[in-house]
Amino acid sequence: MKPYTLSARLSRFIGRAMHDYTMIDSGDRILVAVSGGVDSLVNAWVLKTWLKRAPVSYQCEAVYVDNSNWASVQDHQHPRDCIAQYMREFSIPFHILNGRMVAGEKPSCHRCSTNRRNQLFEFARDNGFNKIAFGHHKDDLVETFLLNIFYSGNISTMRPRQELFDGCLYLIRILSYLEKKDVKEIARGVGIEPAKNNCPLADHTRRDQIRDILEQIKKTVPDAKASIFSALGNVRDEYMLKQR
């Protein structure tokens, strides 16, 4: 890991997101969900580093859901080994959960995601964590918005701070105001090399399709992504379709 200090610009975006959505309170126990991807690793580094400057005190530990029973690992380092190495360097306690995918079961993004989320929720509950931190950023929020419009017929996205179970658990996304390029900039500065994605369904997902569509739109409307993100917090209910 290389010595690195967040730029004033990136610090401002992260700090503003935390402030706007009151993401972290004193005494929080935060469970950081890590997959081995660049977003989750940068998220873990930022949360640990932010402790040195935050006006509140909190604890954070990391967890990885290991689905290697169905996602084969060949010719490269297992994601859990890569993650464990970074968590040691970041001084973040690290936990590994065995995935619940059944060997021989047909892989499904929805099933995998649901199982993983349920395991994270259960682990947080059983171990006294009141918040789970995900590494989603601005691009993810915009893409999820478009995914839900195109494939689910609803207007929604991931919220920077989401309350669950009557306030017993909160999901937080401290990178919500950063773009993917910003996350990569931090990764380069810190020296983070993400683990190779061993998911058999990783190639050309629906999210990839949405990303391609957005890139095409940006060729004629350069500020499209920024405008869509702004629209997520600027909904004019009186002009939406509602039956009386």
Instruction: Give 32-76 pLDDT, tens digit per residue.
Output: 999 999 999 999 999 999 999 999 999 999 999 997 655 555 556
Is there a contact between 124 and 170 (Cβ–Cβ < 8 Å)? no
pLDDT at 165: 96
Question: What is the tens place of the pLDDT at every residue in 14-28?
Answer: 999 999 999 999 999
Smallest CA-to-CA distance from 31 within 99, 84, 94, 118 is with 94
DSSP helix, strand, coil percent of the chain (3-state; round to 5): 45, 10, 45
Task: Lay out the sheet containing 59-66: strands in order across.
Answer: 94-98, 59-66, 29-33, 131-133, 169-172, 161-164
Report how far residue 58's alpha carbon sits from residue 154's, in angstroms, rounded to the nearest whole number.
Answer: 36
Total-model pTM: 0.92
Interhelix angle 206-220/224-231, nearest 10 degrees: 110
Architecture of domain 8-202: 3-Layer(aba) Sandwich (3.40)
pLDDT at 79: 87
